[in-house]
């Protein structure tokens, strides 16, 4: 990849996601419960944490520092509305401290750090700067600072997702999955179960304990995975990365399919109907966040289906990075009508036909699309 037009952008994106994973791990270790003073509810009742704002501020500062200051366009999930409330003063202080601690470690990841500690107003401005709406022209970074915040709070699966789009086309995608187990069977269990199991049977010297960053550059036909570095150690990129590819399973009876854990924004009953129609026999693997995309890219699962409930609109930051990685690993991602996803219409995936289908290969994809049409008449979407 060296010498590629986007080599610098990919390198920075991979490094900053590694750094963001380190921030999230520290915050997650300190969380006690949903009632923690580090967790707030947004207007739609979804949770937001110190990690969400901390990652957004960290990524925003580094991208702006490297790629041109405030002219950098970043489409991201969080704003400062909740963080700026009077009753959030303690939370804001924690975010400021967390960001400064994280940025102090940036040189270990080959990234710049501020000359001086960033103040409260600077942190708020850095978060607020991520207010782009994207679109079909220009260069836009697409960030979900913590995808699957509920999974994060529950100390389960979550992801940090960063993608780059230029003139309406996705260019690269990076996914950080700090709790991704190296044994796919452990995805069925809560992360804390995985932790206890790994302590009972320590990993072999040639395996990774947990956590990884996956990345891909559009059009290369290559997707890569690199283990997370332990705190205080230096990241050597692209050393230690290895190629990943999708599963070769194309028989629906043998395929593993993923779906969202939460029912609020996803129609599980329709997904079950499609699964039955397609001949899928295994129970669905319900995983928080874009870790579902990572599972398909690495060959741990073959299918991801999501059919949103009426009124819910998919956001581009929930899918962009994962789509690039699956496609370059050999998979296929479209809407339920078989059309490519369009990320150029703003913050939403406009014109989406019923839902999203990601598969490890074209054969399975065709069968799932056919099952969607077969199940549609009896749907309650």
Feature table: binding site for Mg(2+): 77, 144, 147, 318
Is it true that the peptide bond before 254 is cis, omega within 30 degrees of 0? no
- For CA atoms 227, 232, 236, 238, the dihedral sign is positive
Of the residues 49, 52, 58, 156, which is catalytic? Answer: 52
- 52 catalytically annotated: yes
Q: How would you write the chain as a 3-class SS string? A: CCCCCCHHHHHHHHHHHHHHHHHHHHHHHHCCCCCCCCEEECCCCCEEEHHHHHHHHHHHHHHHHHHCHHHCCEEECCCCCCCCCHHHHHHHHHHHHHHHHHHHCHHHHCCCCCCCCCCHHHHHHHHHCCECCCCCCCEEEEEEEEECHHHHHCCCCCEEEEEEEECCEEEEEEEEEEEEECCHHHHHCCHHHHHHHHHHCCCCCCCCCEEEEEEEECCCCCEEEEECCCCCCCCCCCCCCEEECCCCCCCHHHCCEEECCCCCCCCHHHHHHHHHHHCCCCCCEECCCCHHHHHHHCCCCCEEEEECCCCCCCEHHHCHHHHHHHHHCCCEEEECCCCCCCCCCCCECCCCCCEEEEECCHHHHHHHHHHHHHHHCCCCC
Q: How far is it, in rounded angstroms, from Cα 202 to Cα 140?
A: 42
Of the residues 98, 149, 256, 271, which is catalytic? Answer: 149
Contacts of 315 (CB under 8 A, 6+ apart): 77, 347, 348, 349
Which positions are catalytic?
52, 149
């Amino acid at each position: 990849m060296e010498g590629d037009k986007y080599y610098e952008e990919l390198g920075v994106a991979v490094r900053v996601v590694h750094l963001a994973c380190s921030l999230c791990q520290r915050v997650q270790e300190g969380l006690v419960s949903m009632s923690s003073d580090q967790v707030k509810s947004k207007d739609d009742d979804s949770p937001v944490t110190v990690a969400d704002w901390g990652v957004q501020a960290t990524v925003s500062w580094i991208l702006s520092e490297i790629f041109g200051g405030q002219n950098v366009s970043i489409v991201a999930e969080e704003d400062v509305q909740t963080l700026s409330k009077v009753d959030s003063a303690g939370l804001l202080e924690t975010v400021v401290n967390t960001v400064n601690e994280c940025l102090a470690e940036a040189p270990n990841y080959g990234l710049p750090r501020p000359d001086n500690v960033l103040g409260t107003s600077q942190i708020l401005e850095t978060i607020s700067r991520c207010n782009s709406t994207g679109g079909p022209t220009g260069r836009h970074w697409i960030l979900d600072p913590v995808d699957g915040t509920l999974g994060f709070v529950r100390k389960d699966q979550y992801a940090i997702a960063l993608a780059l789009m230029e003139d309406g086309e996705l260019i690269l995608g990076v996914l950080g999955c700090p709790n991704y187990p190296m044994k796919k069977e452990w995805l069925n269990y809560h992360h804390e179960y995985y932790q206890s199991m790994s302590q009972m049977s320590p990993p072999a010297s040639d395996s990774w304990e947990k956590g990884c960053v996956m990345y891909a550059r559009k059009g290369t036909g290559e997707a890569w995975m690199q283990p997370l570095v332990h705190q205080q150690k230096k990241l050597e990129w692209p050393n230690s990365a290895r190629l990943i590819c999708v599963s070769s399973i194309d028989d629906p009876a043998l395929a593993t399919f993923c779906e969202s854990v939460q029912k609020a924004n996803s129609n599980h009953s329709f997904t079950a109907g499609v699964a039955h129609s397609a001949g899928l026999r295994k129970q669905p693997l319900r995983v928080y966040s874009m870790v579902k995309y990572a599972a398909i890219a690495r060959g741990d699962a073959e299918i991801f289906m999501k059919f949103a409930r009426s009124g819910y609109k998919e956001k581009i930051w929930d899918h962009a990075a994962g789509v690039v990685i699956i496609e370059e690993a050999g998979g296929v991602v479209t809407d339920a009508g078989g059309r490519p996803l369009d990320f150029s219409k703003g913050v939403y995936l406009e014109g989406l036909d019923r839902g999203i289908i990601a598969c490890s290969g074209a054969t399975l994809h065709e069968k799932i699309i056919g099952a969607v049409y077969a199940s549609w008449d009896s749907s309650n979407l």
